[in-house]
């Protein structure tokens, strides 16, 4: 491992809320000096970070790498490369692979394969039920031993409340966290868009907001009954946010996130049935989108994830309702978070906290720039504007609704465990 | 949404996908052209050479007899070569995508695609990907739009009532699942109709339908008061499952059009229905066969309207090519 100096950078530490100019010294995968070199330090590599922000590497709470089973959509090497190009150094991957991550052996295999492409760190989320079928709970304790950081159903809600109740009791036994996307399946049915004026106009089957709020209400009640810790994944509505706000005030061990798409887009952006705007949960009204931006700023929403869902072109070249939901996102997490911060008047340390220190805390480490911290870093130019061009994205999935859009903020160097894993051309 | 995929740079109609967002002049142009075909037909001249040497493909991804037949007749009267394909879900099961199918038919020399599809927006996908010079006519997509039905409805209303700006129109029944209702609403409001009402129970109304510029009624007696035009919608049998309605009997009792309820409308009100009708479910036979019903003229005018649409989009596509 090379000893590295990062000179002249603007250091933003979201954990401590600091914003300073200093040199940073890396060795043995850790930060070994801030402002001054530790004794015996011999720089083998120098990076000039003048004009760049030096921050802890980004932690993405939901990014699908598509392995195993969906290699035609994306692969570990392609998505790892996309991650570090986007400044993401830790990836939490949901269990909705094929087969789903419901057996310890699968998780071990995935982690080994990730090691072979050692770029970003991988944190698998285990399946909560066998095959994600919502019937039998998985061997959660053994999945944890294999490296799972939490348990989830991916995008398949558990229809049977008895199963969810027991899953939460069992997880609470070991203190495990569940990551649940709040959705009452019977109210979704064949819905594909927010149940509002715009879907009515387009004749798209609606998904009402109550599909989210009723699910949150159930989860909150079950949390009270079981004491289980829950992270609510990808809120979409103002009413849903309000329920989370109330539950947090009560002191329940509840956190939540939102994805980059729902911060910036709304149902009207679907335009003429553009399938790149098909998402689960659906893009909701402009009012909901504004409530998301505000709830991020006031702390009700803890974190921002990319909800990275790379796919092949054919998955989107279909009528809106038949197209696969989701968008590629690893390379857009940083600029779209910065865009939200700029629009909402949120300072950089607080904005970066949403995509580094807060999610890192959930994974049990500190994303900071102090001596002893992990040398997982992103060096980015906050003023670099670039146009989102699908063909130039590193991700194998070129599917993005932001195609052609000008964004600001671009990773120049990414370090993982003290090693330079990405350098912009 | 300044960009409109239905219009070329000169603002001319090159695809017909929905009446929404089309200027009044284009709707009127279609109705006027249809009137020429009707007049010519009345004079014994049914055949035109407008589309001679052109290929029209009727692509019905969803079953329909009436609409497909009237499109076939309309294309033949314009001397087009017509091929009708019933492409059920099985072709996608065989692995061929919608766009694969389209590309194959393009290779066979198609000029106009008439498309019916169960998914809202499918004709937009096709229009976006067809080669320049090929026109797409939406023959009904999901719940979204059925523009030729709306235009023939407008033709019928204009024929019997004249001026749209003095009319009160009620659309009754399953608005939620109806592409006809949506397209009729857009066409009526564009043509200047000052009052469009929808009458249905809450389970059969789309969220925020008021935003389309309609007045919502749940009671037939109130909603039919003094209207000039009544458009009844077909109630699909499958709507009887899924808790939309308790029974056809109850629906008929509260929302079926009977002579008694019709009497609340203006004495000269006309009754329309896109067909096929469910007698005794949404409409009483005495009304369907009564002297205020204009359901059969709708079918006749439908052919002229579809001729007008295919002729206009083909001419504009050709003009664009040169």
- Reported as a single tens digit per residue, the pLDDT across B219-266 is 999 999 999 999 999 998 777 777 899 999 999 999 999 999 999 999
| Catalytic positions of A | 307
- What is the Cα–Cα distance from A233 to A55, expressed in whole angstroms? 25
- Domain boundaries in chain A? 57-363
- Residues of chain B contacting A210 with CB distance shorter than 8 Å: none
Instruction: State how beta strands B195-199 and B215-217 pair.
Output: parallel
Among the listed residues B231, B244, B213, B240, the one whose alpha carbon sits nearest the alpha carbon of residue B298: B231
CA B143 to each of CA A28, B15, B37: distance values in angstroms, whole numbers, following the listed order = 61, 19, 30
Residues B125 and B152 in one domain: no
Residues B35 and B124 in one domain: yes
Residues B35 and B125 in one domain: yes
Residues B137 and B162 in one domain: no
Residues B222 and B108 in one domain: no
The helix or strand, by DSSP H or E, that contains position A246, with its residue range, turns out to be: helix A238-249
- What is the Cα–Cα distance from B23 to B10, expressed in whole angstroms? 13
- Give the minimum alpha-carbon distance from B39 to chain A in angstroms, rounded to a whole number: 35
Question: A200, B125: Cβ pair inside 8 Å?
Answer: no
What is the DSSP secondary-structure string of B57-69? EEEESS--SHHHH
What pLDDT shows up at residue B25?
Answer: 97
Q: Which residue of B has its CA nearest to A195?
A: B207
Residues B257 and B132 in one domain: no
Q: Given B97, B120, B125, which is nearest A204 (Cβ)?
A: B120
The boundaries of the domain holding residue B125 are: 24-146+300-321
The answer to whether position B3 is within a domain reads no
Q: Is residue B95 over pLDDT 90?
A: no
The answer to whether position B13 is within a domain reads no
- What is the Cα–Cα distance from A125 to A65, expressed in whole angstroms? 12
- What is the Cα–Cα distance from B304 to B32, expressed in whole angstroms? 10
- What is the Cα–Cα distance from B190 to B192, expressed in whole angstroms? 5
Residues A282/A283/A287/A293 CA torsion (nearest 10 deg)? 110
Tell me: cis bond preceding B276? Omega within 30 of 0 counts: yes
Best to test chain A binding among B130, B207, B233, B242 (most A CBs inside 10 Å) = B207
B124 touches chain A (CB under 8 A): yes
How many beta carbons lie within 10 A of that of residue A225, not counting itself?
Answer: 12
The answer to whether position B1 is within a domain reads no
Cα(first)–Cα(last) distance of chain B, in Å?
28
- Give the minimum alpha-carbon distance from A275 to chain B in angstroms, rounded to a whole number: 9
- What is the Cα–Cα distance from A2 to A415, expressed in whole angstroms? 11
Residue A404, C-beta contacts closer than 8 angstroms, at least 6 positions apart? A387, A388, A389
Tens digit of pLDDT at every position of chain A (425 positions): 689 999 999 999 999 999 999 999 999 999 999 999 999 999 999 999 999 999 999 999 999 999 999 999 999 999 999 999 999 999 999 999 999 999 999 999 999 999 988 899 999 999 999 999 999 999 999 999 999 999 999 999 999 999 999 999 999 999 999 999 999 999 998 999 999 999 999 999 999 999 999 999 999 999 999 999 999 999 999 999 999 999 999 999 999 999 999 999 999 999 999 999 999 999 999 999 999 999 999 999 999 999 999 999 999 999 999 999 999 999 999 999 999 999 999 999 999 999 999 999 999 999 999 999 999 999 999 999 999 999 999 999 999 999 999 999 999 999 999 999 999 98
Residues B105 and B52 in one domain: yes
Q: Which residue of B has its CA nearest to A208?
A: B207
What pLDDT shows up at residue B140?
Answer: 97
E-state strands within A253-369: 254-259, 303-305
Among the listed residues B321, B204, B221, the one whose alpha carbon sits nearest the alpha carbon of residue B263: B221
Residues B142 and B191 in one domain: no
Percent of chain B scoring above 70 in pLDDT: 96
Spatial strand order of the sheet with B55-60 comes to B81-86, B55-60, B112-117, B135-141
Q: Given B121, B179, B209, which is nearest A273 (Cβ)?
A: B121
Contact A334, A378 (CB under 8 A): yes
On average, the pLDDT of chain B sits at 94
Q: Which residue of A has its CA nearest to B2?
A: A271
Provide the whole-model pTM: 0.94
Question: B207, A196: Cβ pair inside 8 Å?
Answer: yes
List residues of A whose CB lies inside 8 A of any B CB: 195-197, 199-206, 208, 271-273, 275, 314, 317-322
The answer to whether position B5 is within a domain reads no
The answer to whether position B162 is within a domain reads yes
pLDDT class of B65 with cuts at 50, 70, 90: confident
- Give the minimum alpha-carbon distance from A398 to chain B in angstroms, rounded to a whole number: 18
What pLDDT shows up at residue A158?
Answer: 94
How many beta carbons lie within 10 A of that of residue B50, not counting itself?
Answer: 17
Overall domain count for chain B: 2
Question: A319, B119: Cβ pair inside 8 Å?
Answer: yes
Residue A364, C-beta contacts closer than 8 angstroms, at least 6 positions apart? A149
Phi/psi for A14 (5° steps) reads: -70, -25
Residues B217 and B227 in one domain: yes
Q: Where residue B30 sits, what CATH number does that domain have?
A: 3.40.50.1370
Q: Given B98, B124, B207, which is nearest A272 (Cβ)?
A: B124
Burial track B257-292 (b if 16+ CB lie within 10 A, e otherwise): beeebbebbbeebbbbbbbebbeebbbbeebbeeeb
What pLDDT shows up at residue B1?
Answer: 45
Question: B97, A204: Cβ pair inside 8 Å?
Answer: no
What number of residues does chain B have? 322
The answer to whether position B206 is within a domain reads yes
Rounded CA Rg of chain B: 19
Residues B31 and B42 in one domain: yes
| A29-A30-A36 Cα angle (round to 5) | 130
Residues B154 and B133 in one domain: no
**Which letter does DSSP use for residue A176 in this model?**
P
Residues B131 and B238 in one domain: no
**Which letter does DSSP use for residue A98 in this model?**
S
- What is the Cα–Cα distance from A285 to B207, expressed in whole angstroms? 13
Q: At what angle do helices B24-42 and B147-161 cross, to 10 degrees?
A: 70
Contact B140, B64 (CB under 8 A): yes
Per-residue pLDDT reduced to its tens digit, B259-297:
999 999 999 999 999 999 999 999 999 999 999 999 999
Q: Which residue of B has its CA nearest to A321?
A: B119
Q: Is residue B92 over pLDDT 80?
A: no
Strand partners, A116: none
The answer to whether position B195 is within a domain reads yes
Chain centroid to Cα B68, Å, comes to 12
Among the listed residues A264, A263, A266, the one whose alpha carbon sits nearest the alpha carbon of residue A285: A266
Per-residue pLDDT reduced to its tens digit, B12-28:
999 999 999 999 999 99
Spatial strand order of the sheet with A58-60 comes to A58-60, A88-93, A121-124
- What is the Cα–Cα distance from B25 to B29, expressed in whole angstroms? 6
CATH 3.20.20.140 for domain A57-363, yes or no, is yes
Per-residue pLDDT reduced to its tens digit, B203-213:
999 999 999 99
């Amino acid at each position: 491992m090379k000893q590295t100096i990062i000179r002249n950078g603007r250091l933003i530490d979201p954990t401590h809320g600091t914003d300073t100019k200093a040199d940073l010294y890396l060795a043995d995968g850790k930060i070994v000096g801030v402002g001054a070199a530790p004794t015996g330090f011999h720089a083998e590599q120098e990076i000039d970070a003048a004009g760049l922000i030096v921050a802890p590497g980004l932690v993405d709470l939901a990014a699908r790498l598509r392995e195993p089973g969906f290699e035609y959509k994306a692969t570990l090497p392609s998505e790892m490369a996309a991650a570090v190009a986007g400044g993401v150094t830790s990836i939490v991957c949901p269990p909705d692979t094929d087969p789903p991550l419901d057996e310890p052996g699968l998780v071990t295999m995935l982690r080994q394969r990730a090691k072979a492409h050692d770029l970003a760190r991988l944190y698998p989320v285990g399946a909560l039920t066998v095959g994600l079928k919502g019937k039998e709970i998985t061997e959660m304790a053994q999945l944890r031993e294999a490296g799972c950081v939490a348990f989830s159903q991916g995008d398949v809600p558990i229809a049977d409340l008895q199963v969810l109740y027991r899953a939460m009791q069992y997880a609470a036994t070991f203190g495990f966290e569940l990551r649940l996307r709040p959705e009452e399946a019977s109210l979704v049915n064949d819905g594909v868009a927010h149940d509002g004026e715009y879907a009515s106009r387009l004749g798209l089957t609606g998904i009402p907001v109550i599909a989210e709020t009723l699910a949150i209400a159930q989860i909150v009640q079950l949390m009270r009954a079981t004491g289980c810790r829950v992270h609510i994944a990808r809120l979409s509505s103002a009413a849903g946010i309000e329920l989370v706000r109330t539950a947090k005030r009560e002191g329940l061990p509840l956190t939540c996130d939102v994805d980059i798409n729902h911060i910036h887009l709304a149902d009207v952006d679907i335009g003429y049935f553009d399938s790149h705007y098909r998402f689960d949960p659906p893009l909701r009204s402009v009012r909901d989108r504004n409530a998301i931006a505000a709830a991020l700023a006031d702390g009700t929403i803890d974190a921002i994830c990319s909800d990275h869902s790379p796919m092949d072109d054919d998955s989107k070249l279909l009528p809106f309702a038949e197209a696969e939901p989701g968008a590629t996102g690893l390379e857009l997490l940083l600029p779209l978070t910065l865009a939200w911060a700029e629009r909402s008047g949120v300072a950089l340390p607080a904005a970066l906290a949403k995509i580094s220190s807060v999610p890192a805390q959930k994974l049990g480490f500190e994303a900071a720039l102090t001596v002893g911290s992990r040398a997982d870093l992103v060096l980015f130019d906050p003023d670099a504007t670039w146009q989102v061009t699908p063909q130039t994205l590193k991700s194998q999935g070129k599917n993005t609704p932001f195609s052609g859009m000008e964004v600001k903020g671009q990773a120049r160097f990414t370090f993982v465990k003290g090693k330079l894993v990405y350098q912009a051309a | 949404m300044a960009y409109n995929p239905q219009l070329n740079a000169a603002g001319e109609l090159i695809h017909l996908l929905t009446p929404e967002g089309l200027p009044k002049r284009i709707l009127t142009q279609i109705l006027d052209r249809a009137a020429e075909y009707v007049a010519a037909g009345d004079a014994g001249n049914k055949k035109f050479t407008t589309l001679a040497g052109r290929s029209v493909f009727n692509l019905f991804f969803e079953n329909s007899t009436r609409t497909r037949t009237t499109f076939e007749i309309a294309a033949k009267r314009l001397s087009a070569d017509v091929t009708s394909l019933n492409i059920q879900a099985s072709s996608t099961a065989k692995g061929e995508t919608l766009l694969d199918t389209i590309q194959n038919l393009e290779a066979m020399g198609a000029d106009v695609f008439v498309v019916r599809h169960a998914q809202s927006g499918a004709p937009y996908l096709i229009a976006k990907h067809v080669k320049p010079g090929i026109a797409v006519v939406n023959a009904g997509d999901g719940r979204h739009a059925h523009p030729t039905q709306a235009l023939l409805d407008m033709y019928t209303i204009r024929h019997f009532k004249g001026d749209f700006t003095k009319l009160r129109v009620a659309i009754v029944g399953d608005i939620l699942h109806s592409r006809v209702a949506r397209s009729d609403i857009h066409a009526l409001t564009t043509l200047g109709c000052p009052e469009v009402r929808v009458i249905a129970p809450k389970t059969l109304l789309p969220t925020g339908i008021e935003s389309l510029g309609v007045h919502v009624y749940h009671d037939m007696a109130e909603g039919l008061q003094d209207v000039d035009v009544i458009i009844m919608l077909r109630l699909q049998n499958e709507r009887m499952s899924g808790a939309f309605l308790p029974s056809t009997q109850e629906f008929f009792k509260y929302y079926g059009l009977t002579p008694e309820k019709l009497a609340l409308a203006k004495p000269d009100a006309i009754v329309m229905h896109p067909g096929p009708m469910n007698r005794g479910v949404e409409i009483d036979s005495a009304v369907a066969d009564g002297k205020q019903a204009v359901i059969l003229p709708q079918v006749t005018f439908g052919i002229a309207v579809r001729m007008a649409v295919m002729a206009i989009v083909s001419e504009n596509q050709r003009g664009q090519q040169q």
